Structure 1
């Protein structure tokens, strides 16, 4: 998978997570988990 394809995959996932103003916890958990998994 190219870097571009991976970026599109991550962005698509972030966009799909509901995150109304003041309720961004789920996105922060996703980002934390992703960054932790890649070291």
Structure 2
């Protein structure tokens, strides 16, 4: 049971990191588009 829990925690951490990176990337792209539109 312990190993399964550890694997689950690792998967959750990976998914969270993935979503965080994706979120950041989307924000960067939106900011870049807004800047080009503003100029």
TM-score in same-fold range (> 0.5) = no
Q: Which has the higher contact order (CA 8 A, sep 6+)?
A: 1
Larger radius of gyration: 2
The answer to which structure has the higher helix fraction is 2
